[in-house]
A and B are shown apart, each in its own frame.
Chain A
Amino acid sequence: MQLTLKVWRQDSPTDAGHFETYQATDVKDEMSFLEMLDAVNENLIEAGREPIVFDSDCREGICGTCGLMINGQAHGPQKGTTTCQLHMRKFHDGETVTIEPWRAAAFPVVKDLMVDRSAFDAIVQAGGFITADTGAARDANEILIPKPAADAAMDAAGCIGCGACVAACPNGAGQLFTSAKLAHLNLLPQGQSERYKRTEDMVETMELFFGSCTNYGECQEACPKEIPIDFIAMMNRDFLKSKLANRKLSGQKH
């Protein structure tokens, strides 16, 4: 199959950027989307032109490094699938494919299709942890965790931090990412003592970088791990509770 690619090229964060058109020839169904781009890059290098910069690492859909806007969709057309797991059989001969980086104020373009997602790290740094210095832990089975709670925490913890939710959101909001981390930790017994402080700290840090949520729901649609927006409601509830209540009493309530 042969494709026409319209690819965003941008030299540096300050460069205005533009689209360039390339032909991808000899594309096979079994190739992954990124392998198709690898082949385009090989040809560019042979022709003495600088290859397209894009990010990837595990190519198994778990590290969250990859992420492209493909024809305007975060991670492309296949639901629940990262860019690296998308295969070319989802495209057809002669098609024109537009490839762009994540577009969001919080994720400045570094070069071409690579963006800077360190705002996510800043949110985690603000409170996305349970304080448990090494060596102080009691026996793991002394903490009983009902299976449904453990399962729900795991659903939230499956977030890979790719940023598709932000890229898909018309407001560039970071709610799905932040709420998934909060839900993971706030649903567990171990996470209770820091629950409200964590929620405030993470939400307030999020607001420094990201747009606000107006319930479009695009984030859930784009999430390659299909993390539901219910977690956002939970986050909002905890945030409100925390703002209204005196945290010194939080050991007694909820």
Chain B
Amino acid sequence: MSNVVLDSKVPEGPIQDRWDNHKFNMKLVNPANKRKFTVLVVGTGLAGAAAAATLAELGYQVKCFTFHDSPRRAHSIAAQGGINAAKNYKNDGDSVYRLFYDTVKGGDFRARESNVYRLAQVSVNIIDQCVAQGVPFAREYGGLLDNRSFGGAQVSRTFYARGQTGQQLLLGAYQALMQQVSLGRVELHTKTELLDVVKKDGVAVGIVTRNVTTGEVQSWSGHATLLCTGGYGNAFYLSTNAMNSNVTAAWRAHKKGALFANACYTQIHPTCIPASDESQSKLTLMSESLRNDGRIWVPKKFDDNRPADQIPEEDRDYYLERKYPSYGNLAPRDIASRAAKVVCDEGRGVGPLKNGVYLDFSESISRLGETTVFERYGNLFDMYERITDENPMKVPMRIYPASHYTMGGLWVDYNLMTTVPGLYALGEANFSDHGANRLGASALMQGLADGYFVAPYTVGDYLAGLLGQGVVPTSDPVFVEAEQAVRDETRRWLSVGGTKSPEYYHRELGKLVWDYCGMARDKNGLEKALSEIPALREEFQKNVRVLGSAEGVNQSLEKVGRVADFFDLGELMCRDALMREESCGGHFRVEHQTDDGEAQRNDEEFSFVGAWEWNGDGTAQTLHKEQLVFENVKPTQRSYK
């Protein structure tokens, strides 16, 4: 065990003043000196594009990397619903404090209060910034910004651009980034994948990348490195994440000494289209808003094979309305997801694979009329019909929960720095802000907060201390060795000569992680997974087949390294879930529930962030704890009855 000390570096003083005081106390770099610093930004999603553009505007030399062919393709593009901000434009009692409070409570009291407060504070600047850039948020007839309510909040604080909010926010950040590219302040490297983080004397000094078009392996040095590389929901194989989303950047950083926190905090979204067969490659999210007018049910009888319209009312079980009379179909994400799993596990699932539940609009249609219902959800119905060939106006939709977001990630302090000096993590890649459960419309907010308004200050504070120091040249042995290791690994994968594709192993791994570390977890299952995952990994290492060469485009080669990292991560998710002998937010341990089946936290023993330290291949990680302190919001038990 090493001597890692988890110092959150949270500033002193009343929570309202902490960020302002901190900004005042941070060191500044004068404009002439900013040019002397090189910052590497990996990832061009909301977090990365915002950070790269802003740092360049400030005058730093920025090098920006993405494995996509354009910054605009980052997974942030797919976010639908909206982005929260405490503007209180609706005069409905919203405030920075309320957004802070809702987020801490929504996270089931497992987030760091100071970070969340800052997030709520800067949320208002985000909307201003995005509007100035030309993000076409929805408007009211008078020309003012429109808001909707979202994810159980009692106020309307969600800004949106049709069902394409992530797309529009990302395009805004992408355009700001491209402007800096045109001004020569950002050097953009697309199709360039980070494969290692390089350290010298304990400090991050750069990265090693592979160009996925040419196969060229190359080093880059910088005074600071920002990982803005997204979440790890694809550990489950099937998820709503884009096909190429992966954990590799964060994981390679973890192997270089960055602690990985709360790996078991994953969010399962209740309303996705169920898998249709083994060939399914990803799952599609259907907006949560559908639950406002759709009623969720399954047949009362097991193996009831009648079509939905031939099952009479008395044979239907509207289980959410039955179990949670006051919240009904609007129960929070984690609760609705688990309830669907329970009925499907009982054998009451619907659809050809019995892996879904009905979301039925017939009652709304008779109450509101076809036109109104179609006006509200027409675009979603079209999307659903394209995939399933069923029209939800006529046949109830089938839905099932799917992996959607990961709250865990690289441990960072208040400055968003990991446990490796000079290495930062922003956006979904870090663990901060959402605790054990994320509220809807808060991930976009966090990505942009980190990128536009937090990291540009805190990175400057770090750089100020490096004045006069050049970057470590890429001819230094630390880079040369890291490059060689990447080339060796590539060669090793190409020479395994097994029989199955990387995709096959990803799917098999995903099944294990989903079955044992998905919506409900227990000791037996987790222990089983911890013995089955290493066994499958061994087979993978011996029997995977990667054809082609290291030069030029080789998608199997890109994939195999990502799958290898998912194996290690899947194991850590299970280890973290096994350690956490309580239920909280997205982490539900079957052994820890209240009499009526709700998550039972154990604040006495588990009010901490679980941050794991890598100890080398084949050795279990070491747990470090950051104790959480709640000075402002009192932890309470959530109830939705």
Which residues on A are within 8 Å of B, measured CB to CB?
Answer: 11-12, 28-32, 34-36, 38-39, 41-42, 45-46, 48-51, 53, 55-65, 78, 81, 85, 87, 89, 110-111, 114, 116-118, 120-121, 124-126, 128-141, 143-147, 150-151, 153-154, 157-158, 160-161, 184-185, 188, 190-191
> Digit string of B161-183 for contact with A (CB within 8 Å is 1, else 0)?
11010011001001110110110
Q: Distance in Å from the Cβ of B504 to the closest Cβ of chain A?
A: 7
Stretch at the interface among B121-129, B308-316, B630-638: B121-129
23 A-B contacts, Cβ less than 8 Å apart?
Answer: A28-B279, A35-B279, A42-B501, A42-B503, A57-B68, A58-B75, A58-B77, A59-B242, A85-B386, A117-B69, A121-B72, A125-B179, A130-B134, A132-B133, A134-B50, A134-B176, A145-B139, A146-B141, A153-B134, A154-B136, A184-B136, A188-B134, A190-B132
> Digit string of B112-147 for contact with A (CB within 8 Å is 1, else 0)?
000000000000010111111110111111111100
Contact between chains at A57 and B73 (CB < 8 Å): yes
Contact of B175 among A61, A120, A130 (CB under 8 A): A130
A51 to B554, CA, bound (A): 9
Q: 8 nearest interchain CB pairs?
A: A144-B143, A129-B175, A137-B132, A132-B132, A30-B276, A137-B128, A140-B131, A150-B139
Contact between chains at A139 and B128 (CB < 8 Å): yes
Q: Which residues of A have CB within 8 Å of B125?
A: 135, 137
Q: Distance in Å from the Cβ of B178 to the closest Cβ of chain A?
A: 4
A139 to B388, CA, bound (A): 44
Contact between chains at A134 and B284 (CB < 8 Å): no
Residue B46 is within 8 A (CB to CB) of chain A in the complex:
no
> Digit string of B141-164 for contact with A (CB within 8 Å is 1, else 0)?
111110000000000000001101
Assuming the contacts A31-B279, A110-B213, A145-B139, asked whether A57 and B132 have C-beta atoms less than 8 A apart, the reply is no
Residue B624 is within 8 A (CB to CB) of chain A in the complex:
no
> Digit string of B387-404 for contact with A (CB within 8 Å is 1, else 0)?
111000000000000000
Q: Which residues of B have CB within 8 Å of A45?
A: 501, 545, 547, 556
Q: Distance in Å from the Cβ of A194 to the closest Cβ of chain B?
A: 10
Other 19 A-B pairs with CB < 8 A, given A65-B69, A121-B72, A140-B137: A42-B504, A46-B500, A60-B78, A60-B284, A62-B77, A64-B73, A65-B73, A121-B71, A128-B175, A129-B178, A130-B132, A134-B452, A138-B132, A143-B131, A147-B140, A150-B136, A154-B136, A185-B134, A188-B136
Q: Distance in Å from the Cβ of B66 to the closest Cβ of chain A?
A: 11
Q: Which residues of A have CB within 8 Å of B73?
A: 57, 63-65
Contact of B75 among A57, A137, A154, A157 (CB under 8 A): A57
**What is the chain A residue whose CB lies nearest that of B551?**
A12
Contact of B555 among A32, A51, A117, A133 (CB under 8 A): A51
**Most-contacted residue by chain A among B54, B144, B282, B552 (CB, 10 A):** B282
A87 to B389, CA, bound (A): 9
Residue B495 is within 8 A (CB to CB) of chain A in the complex:
no
A141 to B175, CA, bound (A): 22
A53 to B131, CA, bound (A): 39
Q: Which residues of A have CB within 8 Å of B242?
A: 57-59, 63
Contact between chains at B178 and A110 (CB < 8 Å): no
**What is the chain B residue whose CB lies nearest that of A26?**
B279
Contact between chains at B139 and A147 (CB < 8 Å): yes
Residue B53 is within 8 A (CB to CB) of chain A in the complex:
yes
Q: Which residues of B have CB within 8 Å of A87?
A: 386-387, 389
> Digit string of B256-297 for contact with A (CB within 8 Å is 1, else 0)?
000000000000000000001101111011000000000000
Contact between chains at A51 and B556 (CB < 8 Å): yes
Q: Which residues of B have CB within 8 Å of A63?
A: 73, 75, 77-78, 242
Q: Distance in Å from the Cβ of A130 to the closest Cβ of chain B?
A: 4
- Enumerate B51-103 residues with CB–CB distance to A below 8 Å: 53-54, 57, 68-73, 75, 77-78, 87, 89
Q: Distance in Å from the Cβ of B227 to the closest Cβ of chain A?
A: 19
**What is the chain B residue whose CB lies nearest that of A138?**
B128
A136 to B279, CA, bound (A): 49
Contact between chains at A34 and B281 (CB < 8 Å): yes
Q: Which residues of B have CB within 8 Å of A59?
A: 242-243, 281-282, 284
Q: Which residues of B have CB within 8 Å of A157?
A: 136, 161, 167-168, 171
Contact between chains at A150 and B545 (CB < 8 Å): no
